[in-house]
Structure 1
Amino acid sequence: MSINANDNVVGSPLVVCTAHIHWDPEFCDVKLVQTMMLAHEVHRVAKETAEKYRIQPQQTPVLICGDLNSLPDSGVFEFLSQGQLSRKHPDLKTFREDTCLERFSSSDDTNVLTHALRLDSAVDTTSIPFTNYTLDFKGMIDYIFSTPQSLARLGILGSFDSNWVTNNKILGFPHPHVPSDHIPIMAQYAIIPTTHQRTPPRPQAVANTTNSTQAASTSSSHSQLTFSR
């Protein structure tokens, strides 16, 4: 079978980032600043990669996988999934007035902090109750983000069976059948040829501090990738 040269994604670039954000719930501001620095650096690498392969930065496939130690209602998740965050977000704490944050923002508007990536969460945060399950904490803190313009999500690993946990009266992990306190998440992607990519919508203006997840791309491609966190 022959493939149109413009549709061939063999040899296409792929930027993959793994991260572990600070753990302490009391330091949500530190987590947020670390995440801003992370997004800023990933975009820099994506731009360099785009120049090397003679494509536009927004055409570069990007995956960010990490233990972000942040719940879906956090500023960290809102910033990554929406691409922006109000400067008045409570998670910033004393950093709200710190001008150093503007170094990591792609917006000229000092009232909003943004990143230049267009990211989509691999999993619906309402369908997975937890990725971390211990005696004193249970919640979703692990994520996979991708650029929907250049990566089509083909499938994800389903949620952990909460009934099994309840029926066996398991108080927390690690456990003989679950060797880590983290539950793996997994997603399968296909690289979308640049000729088939569609420009994703720009994020809506910040109206409040609640989060929302962008819609996933459904474009087709010829190269499949599976990533887990």
Structure 2
Amino acid sequence: MASSTWLISSFFKFSFPTRASQIHCQCNTNSNSSSRGIQRRWVEAFDQSLASPERFTVASYNILADRNASQHTDLYVNVPSRYINWNRRQKILSEELFEWNPDIICLQEVDMYVELSNILVKAGYAGSYKRRTGDTSDGCAMFWKADKFRLLDGESIQYKNIGLRDNVAQLLVFEMSGSDSRRLLVGNIHVLYNPNRGEVKLGQIRFLSSKAQSLSEKWGNAPVILAGDFNSTPESGIYKFLSTSELNIKLYDRKQLSGQKRCRPAQVLGEKKETVGPFSSLDGLLDFWTDEEVKTATGDSECHLAVHPLKLNSSYATVNGSASTRGLNGEPLATSYHSKFLGTVDYLWYSEGIVPTRVLDTVSISDLLREGGLPCKKVGSDHLALLSEFSFSVAHNKSTDITAAAASPRVDIE
């Protein structure tokens, strides 16, 4: 079962933060003073007919754990060592976040939570952290502007408790200040990396979606955003599962389900990527799946259809970008780049009730290649942050009032 413990740092309520908008203005001035390096721009949604005036921004960012950067130096052979140094990366990461000024921040690979929280609390954020189990030292963290959102409820998922490895996820429910009960559920996940374990990836996402649906219903069918590093490409079966709410796993080889194996830089630059889709011949294909693997993926060893209850769209696929930065399905061409990977694995998914009004576009492959790899001068991680501005849909019914017991959640402090 998922853990019901979710952590709120107790010192947040006693801080006297500097307003994030002040830091935002300062960082914008500094970043625009240089024309070199990675440059990103906001792209507006063409159709905003369903957008209301109530808007907020959400960031998703795998910030590269310091321990991972130190232990996997083979991934950064083309990156100057000074760009890998945590003290420098922490400064760059902070500058990136303050420049964009998101209302809600979802971070993955966080192993310096106290240091980051000390910085973000001074900018007016509150935060929650869930560390992975096992011998790893990183986890997922979520921060939100305390003057814009009130935390109503939350749940942390510890996948080890249900036999799905040491990964974790977070689900938090917010109410927007001064918005007459506009509620929002935000999920944050770092899906298992291992490309060969497609069944575990499916199981983790399926469980997260189910928990998100239940928590959303508890709070008047609050709209859902699922952010994170899903360790799956836009051409993969797992992407299809997220975007269509179902996947017939017997049409796929579980070791190819995530699409990661086709994203080595040499493959991406030298060959046309093809969709990892249904096989042309189904004879013997189920030999790739044991009963236990089928059960992990779908929840039932006799059922080959994996389903999840949410109807999700990707904010980047919805808001059209430049042909130089987007693939055929509208997703970024790359959100991560190092010596052994060049492709997209990060997403901001959203449900009915909200619509994306703009996104911070990524960069072209040629711009990434000029850097030689990530991190670089202006990017503090081997991933690019995703940012989307959302609006509550004018067609979405406002959330109903919840009973006093639910409206006054317990805040556990570990």
TM-score range, shorter chain: 0.5 to 0.7
Instruction: Check conservation: 1:123, 1:144, Cα contact below 8 A.
Output: yes
How far does residue 49 in structure 1 lie from its aligned partner after superposition? 1.6
2:243 paired residue number: 81
1:191 paired residue number: 392
SS at match of 1:63: strand
Instruction: Check conservation: 1:29, 1:95, Cα contact below 8 A.
Output: no
Q: Structure 1 pair 28/112, CA: closer, same or farther in 2 (3 Å)?
A: closer
Instruction: Check conservation: 1:132, 1:141, Cα contact below 8 A.
Output: yes
1:98 paired residue number: 294
**1:26 and 2:200 are equivalent in the alignment:** no
Q: Distance in 2 between matches of 1:155 and 1:185?
A: 11
SS at match of 2:218: helix
Quick one: which amino acid aligns to residue 130 of structure 1?
A
Q: Structure 1 pair 142/100, CA: closer, same or farther in 2 (3 Å)?
A: closer
Query: Aligned-pair RMSD on alpha carbons?
Result: 2.7
Higher strand share: 2
Per-residue CA deviations over 1:154-184 (Å, capped at 9, x if unaligned) read 0111121433333x3x321112332100011
Q: Percent identity?
A: 24
Quick one: which amino acid aligns to residue 336 of structure 2?
N
Which stretches of structure 1, 4 residues or more, deviate above 3 A after TM superposition?
95-104
TM-score (norm 2): 0.39
Larger-gyration structure (1/2)? 2
In structure 2, list runs of 5 or more residues that go unmatched.
1-52, 54-177, 255-287, 318-325, 398-414
Aligned pairs, number: 175
**1:67 and 2:67 are equivalent in the alignment:** no
Instruction: Check conservation: 2:202, 2:297, Cα contact below 8 A.
Output: no
Q: Distance in 2 between matches of 1:154 and 1:91?
A: 37
Q: Distance in 2 between matches of 1:111 and 1:21?
A: 21
Q: Distance in 2 between matches of 1:91 and 1:10?
A: 48
Quick one: which amino acid aligns to residue 363 of structure 2?
F
1:163 paired residue number: 366
1:205 paired residue number: none
In structure 1, list runs of 5 or more residues that go unmatched.
51-56, 199-229
Q: Distance in 2 between matches of 1:197 and 1:161?
A: 36
Q: Structure 1 pair 177/161, CA: closer, same or farther in 2 (3 Å)?
A: same
Q: Structure 1 pair 32/176, CA: closer, same or farther in 2 (3 Å)?
A: same
Q: Distance in 1 between matches of 2:204 and 2:290?
A: 12
Quick one: which amino acid aligns to residue 213 of structure 2?
H
Instruction: Check conservation: 1:29, 1:91, Cα contact below 8 A.
Output: no
Instruction: Check conservation: 1:87, 1:110, Cα contact below 8 A.
Output: no
